[in-house]
């Protein structure tokens, strides 16, 4: 993992994502790319220097944003992290997704608000779009503990064969992050199974797709999100990882709403990994 993208609007929730990205970059020796999107009244890239003077408010906002990005670069360099800055004019989720692909970004770290409610408000438009469309892991950060660490990571799974290739990606990510995976199955009334059946399905799944031994943990809960959070809090996990299917629902754990609800309900960082095609 060589490049981590950090989209930021310089808000308080974005600052938490910036701090977490700095922590991750130090942990795995990755480069940080700080990206800011600024809306301008015209296509700024096509203006001459003289024409820019016709829009003093926009010119001032751009100068302010450039300084904020420069401050982040200095902060990263002060702790030995390679970094660079990118300023995109006019809000376009397509531009960000294209940037991720063109620049071969390996992970995205983004902030979210700390209120549980409407998804657009919790996540912000860019975070919401990134969760549903990103081909690389997305880490969503709300609040941060006093001491940052990443040693234990809960990974919620339903052991369906369709998630097998994605599970291998999760294992690879855990190795890169040097984190211990805790495999969790949430047994809900809707998809209720007896414990022995869960263990049997889980062992068959792990035998086929896992690269090393994993303990299977089971928790009973009315909702997937509640069970994941309860178990994560019980073991004092440093984060939660889930598979996101994308734009469509695909039974439990594949629905984007599970990931989005988790972000709204927990203070822990949530890592979303999009389902890989078989």
Do 17 and 6 touch, CB atoms closer than 8 A? yes
| Structure token digits, residue 8 | 């930021």
Look at the domain 152-274 and name its fold: Rossmann fold (3.40.50)
Q: Name the strand (E) or helix (H) holding 273.
A: strand 270-274
Do 30 and 4 touch, CB atoms closer than 8 A? yes
| Structure token digits, residue 106 | 């390996």
Q: What is the DSSP string of 59-128?
A: HHHHHHHHHHHHHHHHHHHHTT--EEEEEEES--HHHHHHHHHHTT--EEEEE--S--S-HHHHH-HHHH
The pLDDT tens digits for 42-93 are: 888 888 888 888 888 989 999 999 999 999 999 999 999 999 999 988 766 6
How many Å apart are CA 245 and CA 232, to the nearest integer? 22
Q: Please count the other Cβ atoms lying within 10 Å of the Cβ belonging to residue 226.
A: 16
Q: Burial-class residue 158 by CB neighbours within 10 Å (0-12, 13-18, 19+).
A: buried
Q: Hey, what CATH class is 3-141 in? A: alpha beta
The pLDDT of residue 277 is: 66
Helices 224-234, 256-265: axis angle to 10 degrees equals 50
Give CA 194 to chain center in angstroms.
32
How many Å apart are CA 221 and CA 214, to the nearest integer? 22
To 10 degrees, the CA torsion angle through 18, 21, 22, 27? 170
Q: Which of 248, 250, 268, 271 is nearest to 259 (CA)?
A: 271
- Stretch(es) of the chain classified as CATH 3.40.50.620: 3-141, 152-274
Residue ranges of the chain with per-residue pLDDT less than 50: 114-123, 247-254
The pLDDT tens digits for 161-182 are: 989 999 999 999 999 999 999 9
The pLDDT of residue 112 is: 83
Q: Which pTM does this prediction carry?
A: 0.89
């Amino acid at each position: 993992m060589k490049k981590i993208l950090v989209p930021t609007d310089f808000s308080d929730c974005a600052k938490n994502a910036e701090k977490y990205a700095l922590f991750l970059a130090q942990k795995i020796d990755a480069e940080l790319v700080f990206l800011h999107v600024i809306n301008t009244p015209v296509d700024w890239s096509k203006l001459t220097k003289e024409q820019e003077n016709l829009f003093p408010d926009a010119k001032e906002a751009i100068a302010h944003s450039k300084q904020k990005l420069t401050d982040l670069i200095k902060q990263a360099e002060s702790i030995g992290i390679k970094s660079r800055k990118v300023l995109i004019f006019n809000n376009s989720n397509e531009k960000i997704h294209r940037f991720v692909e063109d620049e071969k970004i390996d992970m995205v770290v983004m902030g979210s608000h700390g209120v549980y409610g409407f998804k657009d408000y919790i996540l912000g438009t860019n975070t919401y779009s990134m969760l549903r469309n990103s081909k690389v892991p997305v880490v969503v950060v709300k609040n941060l503990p006093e001491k940052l660490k990443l040693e234990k990571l809960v990974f919620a799974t339903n052991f369906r064969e369709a998630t097998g290739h994605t599970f291998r990606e999760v294992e690879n990510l855990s190795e890169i992050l040097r984190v211990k995976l805790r495999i969790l199955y949430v047994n809900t009334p809707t998809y209720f199974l007896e414990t022995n059946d869960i263990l049997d399905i889980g062992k068959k799944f792990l035998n086929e797709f896992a690269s090393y031994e994993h303990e299977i943990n089971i928790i009973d809960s009315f909702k997937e999100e509640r069970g994941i959070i309860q178990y994560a809090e019980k073991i004092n996990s440093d984060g939660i990882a889930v598979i996101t299917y994308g734009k469509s629902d695909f039974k439990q754990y594949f629905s984007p709403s599970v990931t989005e609800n988790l972000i709204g309900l927990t203070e822990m960082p949530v890592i979303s990994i999009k389902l890989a095609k078989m």
